[in-house]
Each structure stands twice: as C-alpha cells, then as structure tokens.
Amino acid sequence: MNAPIRVRLTVLYVLVLAAIVAALTFFVVTRLRSDLTAELDRGLRDSAAQIVLAYRAEGQEEFHDTARTVLPTTGREPAGAQLIDPLGRVLLTEGTPLTSVPLLDRRALSRALGGASVASSRRLGRRQQHLRLIAVPAQRRGQRDVLIVAASLHEIDDATHRTLVLLLLGGVGSLALVAAGGWWIARRALRPVDRMTTRADAIGIDDLSQRIVIPRVNDELAHLARTLNAMLERLEDGVQARERLVADASHELRAPLAAMRAEIDVTLAQDRLDGRAREALELAGDDAVRLTRIVDNLLTLARVDAGRLELLVAPHDLSDLAERAVRAQRAPASEREIDLAVDGDAVVVDVDGDRFGQVLANLLDNAVRNSPQGGRVRVSIRRQAASTHVTVTDEGPGIPSDAREHVFERFSRQNGARPRGGAGLGLAICKEIVNAHGGRIWIDGHLPRGTSVKITLAAEQASSGYP
C-alpha cells in the first residue's frame, strides 16, 4: 500500500471501529430479538397451559372462551389457537384465520405428541405474516391432541429493525467522527516528521553543516532526529576527509607530474631517439598532460569545497579566450579532421580569464572527444540586452534528456550516449566556475543531433566592444 502513513492510520482507525460497531450491532440486535422472543414465548406458554386446562375440564366451549381471554389481542395481526389431532387434522381454532390450516409440520407434531413443548417461527398466508408458534400436548378423555398457540412477531421485527437502523446510523456517524479525528491526530503526530523531512531535503552534499531540529519531547521522533543528525555528522566527517585527501593528493601530484612532463619534453628534444622510443615518449607525454588536467580539476574542486576559489576578475575579450581554447584543441581535432571555429559578437566581459578559459577548454575537449570523424565544433558568442551567451556545439551522439541535469555532477559519465568519456570532472568544474561568476550553464535540448552547451552571463558583466 503506497498511501501516506496518515491515510493508513486513519483507515486503520476506521476499520477497527467498523469491526467494533458491526460486532456490537450484531450482539445488540441478536440479544434484543432473543430477549423479546423469549418473553413472548413465556406468555404463549402460560396461555397454552390455561387453554389446555380449560379444554381438559370443560371441552370445546371452554376452549374458545379461555382462548379469547388469555391470548394477546394487541398488534396488527391477532393471536390464535389451534387444536389438531395426531394425524394433523384441525379440530378447533380460535383467533387469526391462519389457524384454519395446520400450523405444524409432521416432525414438530411428533415431538409435541411425545410431550415436548415445541417453539418455532413461520411465515404464513399471502402476506407472509411472521408468527411465533408454541405447541404443547393436550389430553381430554384419553384422546391425546396437540394445542398450538400463535402470536405475531411483527412488533418484535419492528423493534429489532428500528434498533438496527439506529445503530447503523450511529455507527456511520461514529466512523465519520473517528475518520476526521484520526486524520487530525495522525497529521498532528506526524507534523514533526514532515518538518524533519523538509529540513533533510534542504541539506545538500555541498553543505552538510546543517542539522535537523530535535523535538522538545523526548520520544521516538526525538530519537529519530538525533540519529539523523549523527548520520549527518558522519557524512560531513567523511566528505571533509575525502576533500582533504583530494586536495592533499592534488598538491602532492602536481610537482611530480610537472617534473615528468619536463623530462619527457627534454628527452623528446634529443635527435638520437628512434621511432618507437619517440612514439612511446609522446604517448607518455599525452598521458602526463591528461593527468595534469585531472589533478588541476581535482584541485579546483577542492578549492570550491573549501570556499577558497578565488576569482581574479578583469575585462577579457571572449573571442580571445575562445580562440586560445580552440588553439589548444587543434592538434587532437586535426587528427580526426574535426573543424573548429569561433564566431559571433565581439564582447568584453569581467571574468577571471584563466578560470573562464578553463571552462571553454573543458567544453571544447568534451566536444572534440565526442565528435565523429570529420565533424564540426563551433563556439558562438552572442550579445543580448540583458545577457551574454556562449554556446559550444558539436555533432556527436548527444546526451539523453533524462541525463542532461546529471552530466554536471562530479564523476558523471554518460557512457551509453557519449562513449569517449573522461574522468567525469570537466562539466562539474565548468558548472562551479560559471556559478562563481554568477552565470548559468546548461544543455540545450533543441538540437536533433549533437550537443549544445550554453553559458549565460549577466549583462552587468559584459560590455559590447573594447573599453
């Protein structure tokens, strides 16, 4: 069941009360009918005893007189008495016309002839009148017959029906009150959980210093809040330890990588290398460059996490920054005959040139790596009244719509759509740097093929032309 807890609690309250009301209604109605029927049976047995005595002593006339006297006369259906012989034939009747036909079946008649007092209920006549029957043996002058006295159960049926209706109406009202009260109680009881959920949703991985407010009442919810806060503390400690590890490792790796690149460059400058050795060193140099870029990205993220990403903002021509990033990608692009170009408006922006150049370099690196043989990569710069837009477009396989928000997360690699993925840090670096400049970066999903990454900078950061 996927319904909220308050709904499930309310349904549970209602179902429990419904079961109680149903059981109580069944007990009350059954008990009421049983008591009223037992009282009617006592009266009928007393009447039957008097009629039997009168019939035994005086015969037929006294039978009628006594029956008219002792049988109840209230109600819409009159009571009646019937005397039948052992063969089931009607000998005498008094009262209701229904007594003109035998009221007992063979089995009940045999029991009554055996001396038992037989009580039963039957519906007779065209109107299906509900009668209560009491049959007792009656003896006169050695002849053993059976006396049956009958009375209508209409009043008992009406009483039990009214009681049932009242109980059902009261039960429905009670269920409605319990549903409303249960909903209110469940909502009030779960309100601290809603507050904790809202607070927990607002706590992101970027700021784990926030904590959940612990309720003043020392109950299960307070224990839950303390447990969640302890978990957040452990997460914060783990994230800080990871950030310190990344920062320390990045610092420690920069110097060896720089030395490695220098040694490789010096060695490659020598003429005595054969072809295989030169090719191996060139590959090692490319790997060293790649590792250096990863280390620089990790160090940048570590500074972002520590809140120490400093921006040296100054006026820069976006076209110059784009051309510089394009020149860095000429070599890998030419190997696969990829056309690189920059077009658009001449716009000067107040940015950190190195950082924003790093953004353009990462975007171009992704575009070149994911472009097909002979593809095109474009960097477009457009100036509008309220903002400046930089767009990097390639003709690669594109990014699925459900993955476009996740590509800016750290270590995100969409291997299915863009198979030539890197370490999963480039776009995360781009997002952090663009956000630090007060801008916005996103994937434009309107292209039928390829990927278009757009950057928007606010108007106050840009001015058309040179100062």
Same domain, 59 and 138: yes
Asked whether residue 196 is domain-assigned, the answer is no
Same domain, 287 and 321: no
Q: What 3-state class would DSSP assign to 112?
A: helix
List all residues 6 or more positions away from 339 whose beta carbon is below 8 Å from its beta carbon.
Answer: 333, 374, 375, 376, 377
In eight-state DSSP terms, residue 2 is: -
Asked whether residue 175 is domain-assigned, the answer is no
Same domain, 138 and 38: yes
In CATH, what number is assigned to the domain containing residue 349?
A: 3.30.565.10
Instruction: Quickly list DSSP for 227-295.
Output: HHHHHHHHHHHHHHHHHHHHHHHHHHHHHHHHHHHHHHHHHHT-TT--HHHHHHHHHHHHHHHHHHHHH
The span from the CA of 364 to the CA of 393, in Å, is 9
Same domain, 453 and 321: yes
Same domain, 456 and 351: yes
The span from the CA of 379 to the CA of 3, in Å, is 50
Q: Report the pLDDT value the prediction gives residue 426, as an integer from 0 to 100.
A: 78
The span from the CA of 443 to the CA of 280, in Å, is 38
Residue type, 11: V
The first and second tokens of residue 331, run together, are: 């070599």
Q: What 3-state class would DSSP assign to 180?
A: helix
> How would you classify the pairing of strands 143-152 and 90-95?
unpaired
List all residues 6 or more positions away from 13 whose beta carbon is below 8 Å from its beta carbon.
Answer: 178, 179, 181, 182
In CATH, what number is assigned to the domain containing residue 126?
A: 3.30.450.20
End-to-end CA distance of the chain: 66
Count of structural domains, the chain: 3
CB pairs under 8 A, 24+ apart, for 415-423?
418/366, 418/370, 418/451, 419/370, 420/369, 420/370, 422/365, 422/366, 422/369, 423/294, 423/297
Same domain, 339 and 248: no
Parent domain of 76 = 5-159
The first and second tokens of residue 192, run together, are: 């601290």
Same domain, 323 and 300: no
Same domain, 294 and 401: no
Asked whether residue 366 is domain-assigned, the answer is yes
The span from the CA of 104 to the CA of 124, in Å, is 11
Domain end, chosen from 140, 159, 178, is at: 159
The first and second tokens of residue 466, run together, are: 């040179």
Same domain, 71 and 122: yes
Asked whether residue 215 is domain-assigned, the answer is no
What is the pTM for the complete model shown?
0.52
Q: Report the pLDDT value the prediction gives residue 1, as an integer from 0 to 100.
A: 57
Same domain, 15 and 149: yes
Same domain, 353 and 448: yes
Same domain, 298 and 321: no
The span from the CA of 140 to the CA of 88, in Å, is 17
Which is nearest to 406 in space by CA: 415, 396, 397? 415
Domain end, chosen from 159, 185, 211, is at: 159
Q: pLDDT in tens for each of the 467 residues of the chain?
A: 577 888 888 888 899 999 999 999 999 999 999 999 999 999 999 999 999 999 988 888 888 899 888 887 655 567 889 999 999 899 998 887 877 888 888 899 999 888 889 999 988 877 888 889 999 999 888 889 999 999 988 889 999 999 999 999 998 999 999 889 888 888 888 888 888 888 888 887 767 788 888 888 788 888 888 998 899 889 888 877 877 777 777 777 777 888 888 888 888 887 777 778 888 888 888 788 778 777 777 777 777 766 667 788 899 999 999 999 999 888 888 888 999 999 988 888 899 898 899 899 889 988 998 889 999 999 999 988 778 999 999 988 888 887 887 888 776 665 544 444 455 677 888 888 898 888 999 998 777 788 899 999 986 555 444 33
